[in-house]
A and B are shown apart, each in its own frame.
Chain A
Amino acid sequence: MNKRCSRILFATLAACVILGAYPVWAGDNVSADLVERARTCGVFSGTIDQVNSSVLDGSLEEAEGEKLLSPLVAACENKLPLAPFEDKLAEGLAKHIPPLLIARALNKKLDEYKFAKGLLGAPAKDADPQLLIVLGEGLSKGVPRQDFEGYVSSYGDQASEPFLVGMEMASLLSQAGFDYKLTSSILDAGFAANSLSPQWRYFIRIVLVARQRGLSDDFIAEAAKGVLGDGGSLGDASTRLGFTSRDLTGRDISN
């Protein structure tokens, strides 16, 4: 290892030691009880500290800080995935969105995630966080609740991985205004042939390119059904529609 690498390594290890022994934030200004609940439950300490320091430097009122932290505590205590809430809060503060609007968005997100958890019907501790995130984020981006209800009702007994892929596929298609009946017919073909591999979650891109080339959603759905029925790939769907595809992961790329 060269000298530079050694120095960086030493610095990194030293930082770990220092950070490991660093005391928690000393002066909480948001309600101590709320902060304690947040910390005990497992809300990211950086998020708690960010809200606290904003109150401390006067950019947030104490009540505003509590309104921002409350939905995160509620999400945490409901065993919901926290990253989407923490990201939303950080984004709102970074963009200087009025705190009450951020709080409103967080509470709306909380409702959506609670609905998602109820829809999956599993005990909170067993609900797959990935599924909850797909559902919760889909709802917050405008996917109608009945689309997801229909999905869970029709495909709830499928294996977990294709179930997740299909759900993400359905969510993205719905966000682009693709008729759920068409989506459902594509999913039927995919589940029947056991061909819903992870790449299919981004079928939406094919739809967007195909629309740009003037193809109807019905035509696109027919092509997708045919390809899935034959166990084909996303690239095969492009080919069937008459255009080419690209591999975003690089797995199938030579060089």
Chain B
Amino acid sequence: MKNVIILVLALAVLVSAGCAKVVGPYYLEQEKYEQGIEVLGDQLKENPDDASSAYYVGRYYLALNKPKDGLSYLEKAVKLDPENADYVFWTGVAHWAMLDFEQERAAYLKTLTLDPDHISANLYLGHGYIDQGEWAKALVQYDKVVKLDEYNPEALYNRALALNGLGKTTEEIAGWKKFLEYYPDGSLAMQATEQLNLHGDFAYRNFILGQRNVTLKSMTFKPGTNVLDADSRTSLHVINAMLETNKKLALHIVAYNKGNTAQAKIRAKSVRDYMLSGNPGIDSKRLPLSWFGTAEQIEMGGKSFTIDNSVQFITVVQ
């Protein structure tokens, strides 16, 4: 309680001393937007030329999903400090929220004249191009973002999407794999995997395990052996964690090997053995095996694919 009082007093002193640049981020980070509007709104009334206060009040309104209110403050901030790239950038976001895509783009372009390396402006300018199907322009922006911020998930994902739009399939596949290498979980990973699979590349696959859709790296084995490689083992750790959490979950392990039924059987068993080793909590009855001496057939997006060697996981219907 004492700390809270000290914090409130410190904020009060900073606000009263006109230090919006210091207290402004606090309300954003704490998601106390209404409180921020009240405090910095008062500050702005006292100092109508304080661009920083206007900017933060605009940001709070935007975060509250009130872009019209936010825009008026952000525009005031820009008027007071026209060289501030962040101020201009956020007017673009407000325009997007108001579905005014032309003004949005203009704001990002203006931002980039002030700061060519502004990551978010490059990213959102690219997004605008993607939405309009301007793939080549989008790609330029995303390449710039990735140069500035190597692991930016939105840039990596949409870069691959732009390459798809441009019909550059080889680079697109590499793009999806790069995204999946850094971000192998979640909804975007699933969509990236779908896109990858539609090109006949099944390095990653989406599996329905119980109630969940999960993206996993496909099972592969060390060359000339039936020993799982490191990436495959990592995928099996994910499945094991799900089996540990959900005691009712049971999975068929189904191996395919075109022209070699015996090897398919060995590989199915190899996968199960790895999953059971060191996991006494998992009963082998929850992992029934199947094997086929044929290629796996996959229907997807109106296309038909075959994989000569694969391992599938199918939820056992109780």
Contact = CB atoms under 8 A, between A and B. Distances in A.
A146 interface: no
Contact of B120 (A9, A12, A230, A253): A253
Interface residues of A, number: 36
Interface in A195-232: 201-202, 205, 208-209, 212, 227, 229-232
Contact of B191 (A240, A244, A245, A253): A240
B99 A250 contact: no
A248 B71 CA distance: 12
B6 interface: no
A158 to B, nearest CB: 18
B28 A231 contact: no
B67 A231 contact: no
B74 to A, nearest CB: 12
Interface string B59-101: 1001101010000000000000000001000000100110100
A1 interface: yes
Given A8-B17, A230-B212, A236-B186, A248 B62 contact: yes
Interface string A104-146: 0000000000000000000000000000000000000000000
Nearest to A209: B99
Contact of B158 (A1, A231, A236, A244): A244
A232 B124 CA distance: 20
Contacts of A233: 187
27 contacts: A1-B17, A5-B19, A6-B17, A9-B16, A12-B16, A13-B16, A193-B211, A208-B99, A229-B213, A230-B186, A231-B187, A232-B187, A232-B188, A239-B187, A240-B187, A243-B131, A244-B154, A247-B93, A248-B62, A248-B63, A248-B65, A248-B67, A248-B93, A248-B97, A249-B62, A249-B63, A255-B86
B152 A254 contact: yes
Interface of B: 13, 16-19, 28, 31, 46, 59, 62-63, 65, 67, 86, 93, 96-97, 99, 118-120, 123-124, 127-128, 130-131, 149, 152, 154, 157-158, 186-188, 190-191, 211-213
A244 B131 contact: yes
A95 interface: no
Given A232-B187, A239-B157, A4 B18 contact: yes
Contacts of B190: 230
